[in-house]
Structure 1
Amino acid sequence: MSIAALVAPQLPYLRRYARALTGRQDLGDARVAKCLERLADDPDRLDADLEPRVAVYRLFSEIWNAAPVHAGPGGSAADRRIGALPPLPRQAFLLTAMEGFTAEEAADILDVDPDQFDDWLVEAGRQMSAEMATRVLIIEDEPIIAMELESLVAALGHTVTGNARTHGEAIGLVERDRPGLVLADIRLADGSSGLDAVNEILKIADLPVIFITAYPEYLLTGKRPEPTFLITKPFRDDMVRAVISQALFFETRPAA
């Protein structure tokens, strides 16, 4: 396959990424053009050992990080939140949250070891969460896991409205103090379904939900709309932090 055929499908996404990095479409497009010029001069700069999209973004990142430019945050709330991040955590967040790369792929793109990438992603999550502090309801029947989640949520600057162990407790807590985010398990202490509780909650309040479960197969069935945010137990703390930031960044709505 020719270089042009490999690169062409990536261009709309690369332009989106460059605009988010720079804060302006014209500046982003200028950097994408420079990347294409470098590639035209030396096609071997595209790493043939990498998946094409990863290889294109890696070349762009090499050029970008050699002389980064940022015009400042754009006009939307999302742009302002992104623009407030330091350069490398900003790239880590955008590559995973907006461009959909895995942490391993994004670390390859930025040419860093996974531990360093995780540090940048955690820093991005910490700052993004501070910008979007909200109230969080936890639906979890295992006390130790609930305590760990409460600690993680509080460390990110959010307020825990409560921990529900049953369907009834969850609905009661939502009616008493409308949260801005829900972290939900599937199997609850009374034998009821956390999914049923969430469906009822969403009739009361429009808010993002993150499922944290040891039984992802109950949600990933392909028979109904699947959850946008799903974390499998046992979970890593940094994964929970990153997904909370993504959920609030993309789906934050004012809590009543």
Structure 2
Amino acid sequence: MSLGTKIANELPFLRRYARALTGSQAAGDAYVRATLEAALADDALRADIGEGRAELYRAFNRVWSSANVDSVLSTGEGEGSLEAAAQERLGRITPRNRQALLLTTLEDFSIADTARIMDCSQEEVEHLVSDAVSEIDRESATSVLIIEDEPLISMQLEDLVRTLGHDVCGMAATRTQARDIVAEKTPGLVLADIQLADGSSGVDAVDDILAIESVPVIFITAYPERLLTGDRPEPTYLVTKPFQEATVRTAISQALFFGSSRPLD
């Protein structure tokens, strides 16, 4: 397999990681682009990336660690309120804690691979993840709408959300049900599948909500390829089924940290 094909296969996931790390699609893509440009200019780096997925992320993290964050984030002119909120909040959480947590949960790297990506010891990765979890626990509570047509998964998500200290304002299996719930109360966070019980689309249900107010959204789906197409703005937070609870927990933390969530009354 050629290097170009290898990178192309991993690019949607690297872009997902970059967006979660920076809180902005524009800023995340700027870092990804800088990584690819660095690889084009450096034969040794290009050879390293060809060794595997971890090396590609390692190259990205070198760019992330050495770049001027403020200058990269300032390229996101015209972004929406969620991205603006992300830029404001970037300085409030330790960047390396966020990196370690995202790599070990959202991107499903082992502690050993994460240590290599971040150029540190495995013990330091474990410490960074522990600190990140502590920061998660300090997040303010919010009201969550769950859009999911599989009852067992819906109940699992409800239990997880409540365990994290959040309220559940409603559970919808169809676009119409989601619309009815939002008519009563706008949630501070949405967890949504994309394929719903009556054949309706969770993406359309989310669009209905975002037409009313900007809230952070996490898509949880068995069909991530339907969203990672490049044909429309891609979701910042995307969790693939079957999911690990730690992955959903991380996504919720990131979404609430970067998003303008609505606190509980």
Normalised by the length of structure 2, the TM-score is 0.58
Q: Provide Cα deviations, 1:55-101, integer angstroms capped at 9, x if missing partner.
A: 7999xxxxxxxxxxxxxxxxx76645x27xxxxxx733245569xx9
Alignment match, 2:158:
150
Given candidates 130, 136, 141, the residue that maps to 1:133 is 141
Offset at residue 132 of structure 1 (A):
2.4
Alignment match, 1:201:
209
Whichever residue aligns with residue 223 of structure 2, its letter is Y
Alpha carbons of structure 1 residues 196 and 140: separation in structure 2 relative to 1, 3 Å: same
Q: Unmatched 5+ residue regions in structure 2?
A: 1-47, 66-87
Q: SS state of the match for residue 96, structure 2? A: helix
Alignment match, 2:174:
166
Alpha carbons of structure 1 residues 117 and 235: separation in structure 2 relative to 1, 3 Å: farther
Alignment match, 2:73:
none
User: Highest CA radius of gyration, 1 or 2?
Assistant: 1
Q: Provide Cα deviations, 1:118-175, integer angstroms capped at 9, x if missing partner.
A: 7853762464254221110000010110111111111111111111011111011112
Given candidates 229, 242, 248, the residue that maps to 1:240 is 248
Which of 1 and 2 has higher RCO (CA within 8 Å, sep 6+)?
A: 2
Alignment match, 1:72:
none
Alignment match, 2:121:
111
Q: Unmatched 5+ residue regions in structure 1?
A: 1-46, 59-75, 84-89
> How many residue pairs were aligned?
183
Q: Provide Cα deviations, 1:205-255, integer angstroms capped at 9, x if missing partner.
A: 210100000111111111111111111100111110011111111112446
Offset at residue 53 of structure 1 (A):
5.4
Alpha carbons of structure 1 residues 144 and 106: separation in structure 2 relative to 1, 3 Å: same
* 2:229 is equivalent to residue 224 of structure 1: no
Alpha carbons of structure 1 residues 177 and 121: separation in structure 2 relative to 1, 3 Å: farther
2:100/2:125 contact within 8 Å kept: no
Identity %: 48
Q: SS state of the match for residue 181, structure 2? A: helix
Given candidates 182, 189, 196, the residue that maps to 1:181 is 189
CA RMSD in angstroms, aligned pairs only: 3.4
Return structure 1 stretches of 4+ with deviation > 6 angstroms. Answer: 55-58
Alpha carbons of structure 1 residues 121 and 157: separation in structure 2 relative to 1, 3 Å: farther
2:189/2:261 contact within 8 Å kept: no
State how far apart, in whole Å, the 1-side matches of 2:148 and 2:189 are: 14
State how far apart, in whole Å, the 1-side matches of 2:194 and 2:63 are: 39
Q: SS state of the match for residue 186, structure 2? A: coil
Alpha carbons of structure 1 residues 251 and 192: separation in structure 2 relative to 1, 3 Å: same
State how far apart, in whole Å, the 2-side matches of 1:55 and 1:228 are: 21
State how far apart, in whole Å, the 2-side matches of 1:241 and 1:253 are: 16
* 2:222 is equivalent to residue 214 of structure 1: yes
Whichever residue aligns with residue 91 of structure 1, its letter is R
